[in-house]
Amino acid sequence: MTIAFIGIGNMGWPMAKNLRKAGHDLIVFDSAADRVAQFAAEHGCGGAAQLAELATAEFLVTMLPTGQIVRDVYLREALAQRLKPGTIAIDMSSSDPTGTRQLGAALARQGVALIDAPVSGAVPRAITGTLAIMIGGDARSAIERVKPLLAAMGNRLFETGGLGTGHAMKALNNFVAAAAYAAAAEALIAGRRFGLDPTRMLEILNASTGRSFITELVMQEHVVNGKFATGFALGLLAKDVKTAADLAHDVRFDAPLARLVSQRFAEARDQLGYGRDNTEAILAWDNADGAET
């Protein structure tokens, strides 16, 4: 199968690499031409200088920072008009579900099926091909056709329902993770200021009811040990949590915690910068009142 992969950043690079390792014909595109050339040379595949060069691919995968950029690729850059009927577009970005449904309708008019298939697992599991992938789509046949491709990048494939539900699930998952991070961060800051040792706090939390993925891995490895290197940008997490808060609003559900967590991460992003690692949010919150760290 010929696959065009658009966006070979921190996550896209290892994901595209695993597709190539699985034996698929691949052509990659990125706004950074040097990355395209490097990837193509390292992995023996094609590299496109223009989006129009991707029009003959059977499948197009997007792994881009926002859903708006994905829509721009297909609509503003007119890629959708060049695609042949029967092409399947797979958006693996963390896009907003409402925008995904709008894009799906526009692509359907060109005879192109859109599948949303966002991922969870961050860079380490992108490298090992063990991502969890949430699959939304309205075309049953298209979902079945993309599963072998997705299996090259993830070992846990979850069908979530109609188009946009994959992106909705990804945003809600990241909201839950962000809320757990915010709670653990506030506990560590308050405890440390009172005289508790953060390492001992995590030891106790992980033997108690406060245990979570955040306390077991993220707080110990990336926060207390000062690594701050998950490879997932603070600005992207802030965007995902806002998507979850907006989704709650769209379905007429009052979700005050989602709004608060969204606000907290937006403040950390604005203070530290979009590109900082998401685990560094605790630094912004710790310094918010001018107290010493």
Q: What is the distance of C-alpha 211 from the center of its chain?
A: 24
Average pLDDT over residues 240-268: 97
Is 277 exposed, middle or buried (CB count within 10 Å of its CB: 0-12, 13-18, 19+)? Answer: middle
**Which amino acid is it at 221?**
E
* Residue 231: band (very low, low, confident or very high) from pLDDT cuts 50, 70, 90: confident
Please say if the pLDDT value at position 1 is more than 80: no
Q: Is 170 labeled as catalytic in the residue annotation?
A: yes
Average pLDDT over residues 133-137: 98
Q: Where are the beta strands (DSSP E) in 142-181?
A: 154-161
pLDDT score for 292: 45
CATH topology of domain 2-162: Rossmann fold (3.40.50)
- The catalytic position among 21, 147, 170, 227 is 170
Please say if the pLDDT value at position 289 is more than 80: no
What is the percent of the chain where pLDDT is above 70?
A: 98
For 15-19, 137-141, 287-291, which range has the lowest pLDDT when averaged over its residues? 287-291
pLDDT digits (tens, 9 = 90+) for 136-162: 999 999 999 999 999 999 999 999 999
pLDDT score for 293: 39
Q: Please name which of 165, 194, 179, 280 lies closest in space to residue 232, comparing C-alpha atoms.
A: 280
**Average pLDDT of the chain?**
96
| Dihedral sign (CA 114, 115, 121, 123) | negative
pLDDT digits (tens, 9 = 90+) for 55-112: 999 999 999 999 999 999 999 998 999 999 999 999 999 999 999 999 999 999 999 9
The terminus-to-terminus CA distance of the chain in angstroms comes to 53
Give me 176's structure tokens.
């839950």
Tell me the C-alpha to C-alpha distance, in Å, between residue 274 and each of 64, 75, 166: 15, 26, 24
pLDDT score for 122: 87
Please say if the pLDDT value at position 18 is more than 70: yes
Q: Please name which of 231, 223, 237, 240 lies closest in space to residue 282, comparing C-alpha atoms.
A: 223
pLDDT score for 277: 97
**Do residues 30 and 9 lie in contact, with contact meaning Cβ atoms separated by under 8 Å?**
yes
Could you tell me which residues come within 8 angstroms of residue 239 by beta carbon, excluding any fewer than 6 positions away? 66, 94
pLDDT score for 6: 98
The verdict on domain 168-286 having CATH code 1.10.1040.10 is: yes
Domain boundaries, the chain: 2-162, 168-286
pTM, 2 dp: 0.93
**Do residues 73 and 6 lie in contact, with contact meaning Cβ atoms separated by under 8 Å?**
yes
